[in-house]
């Protein structure tokens, strides 16, 4: 069954709004674990706008599922990641002006930077994923730089303005997932997924991991993190069963 990675960055965003100690994303990670999260995801950005070094350090100790660190290729962040040793790293593009990660990584133009980095992490026993748009050239380049996983960017699907566009984007993701698997890559997916739009992604893409942040943390404000995670897990379970029944 598709696993759920819960991104707790937004808890840190709330804390940083006051530069205080609460709410603590480490507590959020533990409660998400209790709610059945299979993975905890955090993004240690170069500008430290939400997650801080101490969060990474403590989560590495308290998360009992699996810790997935989203990161840029910046040297300082790479060294920190290698020192803290999360179970998995996901390379993402990072720009200071953006509100959230916008496009996928341009692996085609960054092959020379990514190949040695992927090798270094994998040699240390840390799984590597590359966050990319579901495009043939990017998938091929991802294979060439030696990554084990790709995370297909679901943002265009999530933000589609019409039902027809949404179906097109879903089809593009299906093709991308199929092509990735043909090349021997393992497929994750994420970005912009919600309780409303996750169903078709579970049923059609059959990703190993879905990484979801904003929607779960938004619901958690009203129902609590443990329950919000349980509800998303329930949806993923339901749609996994439906997919199996239909195939
Ligand atoms: N996957 C990646 C690579 C991301 O950068 C993000 C956002 O941090 C997510 C998934 C989660 O996106 P959202 O918060 O829209 O669910």
Question: Residue 96: its pLDDT value, please?
Answer: 63
For the chain, residues with pLDDT lower than 70 are: 96-102
Task: Specify the number of domains making up the chain.
Answer: 1
| pLDDT tens track for 15-52 | 999 999 999 999 999 999 999 999 999 999 999 999 99
pLDDT tens-digit profile of 159-187? 999 999 999 999 999 999 999 999 999 99
What sections of the chain are H helices per DSSP? 9-16, 25-34, 53-62, 75-84, 111-123, 136-144, 155-158, 163-182, 198-205, 214-223, 225-246
> Which of 42, 151, 211, 214 has most ligand 1 atoms within 8 Å of its beta carbon, as the pocket-test mutant?
211
- Predicted confidence at residue 94, as pLDDT, reads 86
Query: What is the structure's pLDDT at 114?
Result: 98
Candidates 10, 50, 153, 191; catalytic one: 191
Q: Tell me 221's DSSP state.
A: H
pTM of the model: 0.96
Residues sharing a CB contact under 8 Å with residue 210, sequence separation 6 or more, in sequence order: 2, 3, 4, 5, 188, 189, 190, 193, 198, 201, 202, 236
Nearest residue CA, atom 6 of ligand 1?
A: 191
Q: Assign residue 59 the CATH number of its domain.
A: 3.20.20.70
- Between the CA of 5 and the centroid of ligand 1 the distance, in Å, is 10
Pocket of ligand 1 (CB under 6 A): 7, 9, 43, 70, 90, 92, 100-101, 131, 151, 190-193, 211-215
Domain that holds residue 203: 3-246
Output the residue whose Cα is nearest ligand 1's atom 12: 191
């Amino acid at each position: 069954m598709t696993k759920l990675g819960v991104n707790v960055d937004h808890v840190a965003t709330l804390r940083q709004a006051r530069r205080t100690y609460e709410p603590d994303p480490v507590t959020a990670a533990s409660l998400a674990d209790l709610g059945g999260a299979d993975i905890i995801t955090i993004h240690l950005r170069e500008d430290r706008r939400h997650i801080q070094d101490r969060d990474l350090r403590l989560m590495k100790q308290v998360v009992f599922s699996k810790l997935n660190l989203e990161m840029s290729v910046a040297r300082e962040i790479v060294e920190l990641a290698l020192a803290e040793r999360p179970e998995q790293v996901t390379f993402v593009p990072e720009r200071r002006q953006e509100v959230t990660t916008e496009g996928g990584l341009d692996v085609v133009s960054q092959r020379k930077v990514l190949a040695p980095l992927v090798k270094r992490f994998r040699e240390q026993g840390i799984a590597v994923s590359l966050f990319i748009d579901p495009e043939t050239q990017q998938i091929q380049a991802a294979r060439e730089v030696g990554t084990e996983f790709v995370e297909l960017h679901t943002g265009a699907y999530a933000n589609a303005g019409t039902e027809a566009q949404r179906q097109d984007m879903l089809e593009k993701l299906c093709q991308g997932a199929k092509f990735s698997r043909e090349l021997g890559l393992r497929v994750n997916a994420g970005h912009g997924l919600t309780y409303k739009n996750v169903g078709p992604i579970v049923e059609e893409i059959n990703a190993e991991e879905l990484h979801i942040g904003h929607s779960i943390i938004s619901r958690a404000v009203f129902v609590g993190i443990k329950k919000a995670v349980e509800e998303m897990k329930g949806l993923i379970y339901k749609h996994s069963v439906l997919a199996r029944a239909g195939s």
